[in-house]
Amino acid sequence: MKRRRFTLVRRPRGTPVAADFALVEEEVPPLAEGEFLVANRFASLDPAIRGWLDDAPSYMPPVPLGEAVRASTVGEVVTSRNPAFPVGQWVVGLNAIETHSVARGDGFTSPVDPGLVPSPTAFLSTLGAVGMTAWFGVERVLMPVHGQTLLVSAAAGAVGSLVGQLGRLRGCRTIGIAGGEAKCRRLVERYGYDAAIDHRGRDADAIAAAIRAAAPDGVDLVFENVGGACLDGALMTLRDGARIALCGLISEYNAPAPVGARNLWQLIVRKATMRGFLVSEWLAEWPEGIAAMAALLAEGKLVADEHIDRGLDQAFPAFMRLFEGGNDGKMILEIV
């Protein structure tokens, strides 16, 4: 059997270009005992993938040159040498952007029932790592209290849109930062943010001024996805005892050199805390988070959007939407 793969052929320098990748066709390797073959139907495209393309220390090893680009996928078992994963079983796991992946049933791979959701893509968005990042980032890191002010950057993104809604459900006043008038309007009209700030064309001082206008008394909680000017602006508006959940730094992923934060002194001034986190910290508790998010969806208390591009040949332009702001909702590739 043949499979098609979206492979990394050279390390990107700054912003990735199409020549950094190649679509290849190759034979599926024979399965060893305990392995099974997954026909991937959908792949999750996430900003974290960009970090995995660099040969640099990180929480996961870099994608090897010549190998398919790592990504979470959902699909169906088509051949198996593992009785726990029979043919026909749907699974979600950390595999790659390819038509077929060889898996072992350890790590992140787990069986799912597509009959429980409107689309199996839900296991890559609200009921997957994206939803769990929002849930545990709010519940375990920020721990909001009714009446607090929550600031979210990349607030129209897959994670940010859910964070704002979870904060609102916890009784927070929510302020979102996004790029462009259309996304800012979406924050208020679709995701229920109390206020929206457009970061385009604004430096850290201008962003801080906009945050102060929306929250004259300062912000208690920050869910940071962007870094750069957004983080520096937020640091200048903290209230005493503020908490920052550092989820991502997408503004720096394609930068030739890290920019860093200039206003960290404010953590001392405001006796604030900033905690970086990975959603894998709570892997054992994912069933709890998934059940909670599923209940909120079923009750109509959450809006979850997905942006699906179709075809493995669209992998590169679909991936780049993440950095160009061209996606409306969780970025997913349908592999056909």
* pLDDT digits 0-9 by tens, 62-79: 999 999 999 999 999 999
* Within a domain: 285: no
Same domain, 262 and 210: yes
pLDDT given at position 270: 98
Same domain, 53 and 176: no
pLDDT at 107: 65
Whether residue 171 has pLDDT greater than 90:
yes
Say yes or no: 25 and 108 in one domain: yes
Tell me the average pLDDT across 8-15.
Answer: 95
The answer to whether residues 161 and 187 belong to one domain is yes
| Tokens 């052929």, located at residue | 9
Q: How many CB atoms neighbour CB 34 within 10 A?
A: 15
Per the document, the length of the chain is 336
Distances (CA, A) of 304 to 122, 191, 298: 9, 9, 12
What does the pLDDT look like over 221-280, one tens digit per residue? 999 999 999 999 999 999 999 999 999 999 988 877 777 789 999 999 999 999 999 999
pLDDT band of 56, cuts 50, 70, 90: confident
Q: Is residue 290 included in any domain, yes or no?
A: no
Q: What is the mean pLDDT of residues 273-294?
A: 94
Residue 140 lies in a domain: yes
Q: Averaged over 76-104, what is the pLDDT? A: 96
Q: How far is Cα 271 from Cα 293, in angstroms, rounded to an integer?
A: 32
Q: Is residue 299 assigned to a domain?
A: no
Domain check: are 102 and 139 in the same one?
no
Give domain status of residue 286, yes or no: no
Q: Which pLDDT score, from 0 to 100, does residue 269 have?
A: 97
Query: Do 164 and 242 fall within a single domain?
Result: yes
User: Are 118 and 137 within one domain?
Assistant: no
Looking up residue 166, the CATH number of its domain turns out to be: 3.40.50.720
38/64 same-domain check: yes
**pLDDT over 70 at 13, yes or no:** yes
Q: In this structure, what CATH number is given to the domain that contains residue 106?
A: 3.90.180.10
Are 217 and 325 found together in one domain?
Answer: no
Kindly report, residue by residue over 116-134, the tens digit of the pLDDT: 888 999 999 999 999 999 9
Q: How many domains does the chain have?
A: 2
Question: Does 269 lie in the same domain as 146?
Answer: yes
The verdict on 150 and 252 lying in the same domain is: yes
Q: Which residue has the tokens 């959940």?
A: 245
- What's the one-letter identity of residue 179? G
Percent helix, strand, coil in the chain, to 5, is: 35, 30, 40
Q: Is 10 a domain residue?
A: yes
Determine, yes or no, domain membership for 297.
Answer: no
Residue 229 is part of which domain span?
A: 129-280
pLDDT digits (tens, 9 = 90+) for 172-217: 999 999 999 999 999 999 999 999 999 999 999 999 999 999 999 9
> Is residue 287 in some structural domain?
no
Task: Note whether 328 and 260 are same-domain residues.
Answer: no
Predicted pLDDT of residue 204? 96
Mean pLDDT of the chain: 95
Per-residue pLDDT, 324: 87
Alpha carbons 31 and 116: distance in angstroms, whole number: 30
In angstroms, the CA 22 to CA 3 distance is 14
